[in-house]
Amino acid sequence: MTAKFSSIPADRLPDLLQAMPKAELHMHIEGSLEPELIFALAQRNGVALSYPSVEALREAYAFTDLQSFLDIYYAGASVLLKEADFHDMAWAYFLRAKADNVVHAELFFDPQTHTERGVAFETVIRGLTSACERARSELGISSALIMCFLRHLSEEDAFKTLEQALPYREHFIGVGLDSSERGHPPEKFARVFAKCRELGLRLVAHAGEEGPPEYIINALDVLKVERIDHGVRCVEDPALVQRLAQQGTPLTVCPLSNIKLCVFKTMAEHNLRTLLDAGLKVTINSDDPAYFGGYVNENYLETFAALPLDASHAYTLARNSLEASFVDEAHKAGWISQLDEVFARAA
């Protein structure tokens, strides 16, 4: 299906990457808080920031690893206090998603980041839900929310968060696992994920970004997840790569994030092409775009500029994103038809 697209000239790739419909499946909504919005919300809510200006805050975005990023990420989230704040944050993301031709977005949110500051779960979920509804009606973007548990906190804390969330069950489709990966293996959350599975929630987990391939295996076998967020370290275990390919397990890869957090030194060293060549269901996503230097199209553009990828890879990546989304087959078929039209015109 895709081989015929490899003849599309390389100089037309940037326009094609922009125009093709795509889903974004790995996007932390708190990670879309741009410095300008952080300062605006701080002023609105009377929150004192430890940075004197937008420029000073942006200059602080020099990370050496995941933890150094998380420290500033949680500081930025301190300005989110009211329902309107969560709405405004998500709406700003959706406007960028529209410009990037994102037709469907599955947004991660971290309630524990807010509830431990005294912000009610209801405040978080209502603000985000209203932005999702507005994005559907005003922008035509389909979306869903996935609640993540912070893995540096206890499983007991995760159970407490699940309990707070259940009255709002209709507003989120699944659960994930994020925050500091090292030292916090997936099996730490085996019981809470089993409970979420019983409740019919979709299951995903961060694994194999900084953590070893074993974390990916345990996310699959112990947590029973349907998608692996990141997963780039799977290549260290050939049997795991073969298993992921055979099972068609989607990997939500975030190239700019991987460079910014020093998972790879340069984009030219990124293993995305290797993953594709191994037959893995790879998708491209932006992770925490305000902090990592680009929304989803910027991730596509920089990846394609640095790696030997052509239009057939672009088609595969976009189609993977649509197929790996947690929506019904009718919606997927409609978007894939749009994707086919874009590539047919380009060819």
Structure confidence by residue, pLDDT tens digits, 298-336: 999 999 999 999 999 999 999 999 999 999 999 999 999
Q: What does the alpha-carbon distance between residue 148 and residue 168 come to, in Å, rounded to a whole number?
A: 15
Q: Which of 65, 41, 300, 124 is nearest to 57 (CA)?
A: 41
> Exposed e or buried b for every residue in 179-195, given b needs 16+ CB within 10 A?
bbbeebbbbbbeebbee
Cα–chain-centroid distance for residue 134?
A: 20
User: What's the helix, strand, coil split of the chain in %, to 5?
Assistant: 60, 15, 25
Please state the domain extents for the chain. Answer: 3-346
Q: What does the alpha-carbon distance between residue 161 and residue 195 come to, in Å, rounded to a whole number?
A: 13
Q: What letter would DSSP give residue 135?
A: I
Whether 209 sits among the annotated catalytic residues: the reply is yes
Q: What is the reported pLDDT for 73? A: 85
Q: What does the alpha-carbon distance between residue 55 and residue 309 come to, in Å, rounded to a whole number?
A: 35
pLDDT above 90: residue 59: no
pLDDT above 70: residue 2: no
pLDDT digits 0-9 by tens, 72-89? 888 889 999 999 999 999
Question: What does R_g of the chain's alpha carbons equal in angstroms?
Answer: 19
Inter-residue contact 182 to 211 (CB < 8 Å): yes
pLDDT above 90: residue 66: no
Cα–chain-centroid distance for residue 245?
A: 21
Predicted TM-score (pTM) of this structure: 0.96
Q: What is the reported pLDDT for 102? A: 98
pLDDT above 90: residue 101: yes
Q: What is the reported pLDDT for 201? A: 98
Q: Which of 298, 310, 285 is nearest to 28 (CA)?
A: 285
Q: What is the reported pLDDT for 142? A: 98
pLDDT digits 0-9 by tens, 263-303? 999 999 999 999 999 999 999 999 999 999 899 999 999 99
User: What is the average pLDDT score of the chain?
Assistant: 96
Q: What does the alpha-carbon distance between residue 95 and residue 92 come to, in Å, rounded to a whole number?
A: 5
**CATH classification of 3-346, choosing from 3.40.640.10, 3.10.20.30, 3.20.20.140, 3.40.50.880?**
3.20.20.140
Using a pLDDT cut of 90, give the percent of the chain over it.
89
pLDDT digits 0-9 by tens, 190-209? 999 999 999 999 999 999 99
Averaged pLDDT for residues 93-109: 98
Q: In which band, very low, low, confident or very high, does the pLDDT at 1 lie, cut at 50, 70 and 90?
A: very low
Residue 109 dihedral angles phi and psi, to the nearest 5°: -135, 150
Catalytic residue among 24, 34, 83, 209: 209
Report the alpha-carbon angle 149-293-343, nearest 5: 95
pLDDT above 50: residue 159: yes
Instruction: Please give the helix or strand (H or E) that residue 174 lies within, else none.
Output: strand 174-178
Q: What does the alpha-carbon distance between residue 120 and residue 112 come to, in Å, rounded to a whole number?
A: 10
